[in-house]
Amino acid sequence: MLLAIDVGNTNITFGAFDGSSLKSTFRLMTGSARTSDEYGGMTLGLLKYNGIEVDDISGVIVASVVPNVMHALVGSIERYLNKKPMIVGPGLKTGIHIVTENPKEIGPDRIVDAVGAYEKYGGPVLVMDFGTATTYDLISEKGEFLAGITAPGIKISAKALWEDTAKLPEVEIKKPDSILAQNTITSMQAGLVYGQIGQTEYIIKKVKEEAGLENMKVVATGGLGSIIADETKLIDVYDRMLTLDGLRLIYEKNSGRA
Identify whether the C-beta of residue 126 lies closer than 8 Å to the C-beta of residue 257. Answer: no
Q: Helix, strand or coil for residue 130?
A: strand
Torsion of CA 101, 224, 14, 127, to 10 degrees: -30
Which residues, including other chains, have CB under 8 Å from residue 43's CB and lie 6 or more apart?
A: 14, 76, 77, 80, 81
Selected catalytic residue, list 6, 109, 113, 245: 109
- The answer to whether 239 is a known catalytic residue is no
SS3 assignment, position 2 = strand
DSSP state for residue 178 in the 8-state scheme? -
Please give the positions annotated as active site. 109
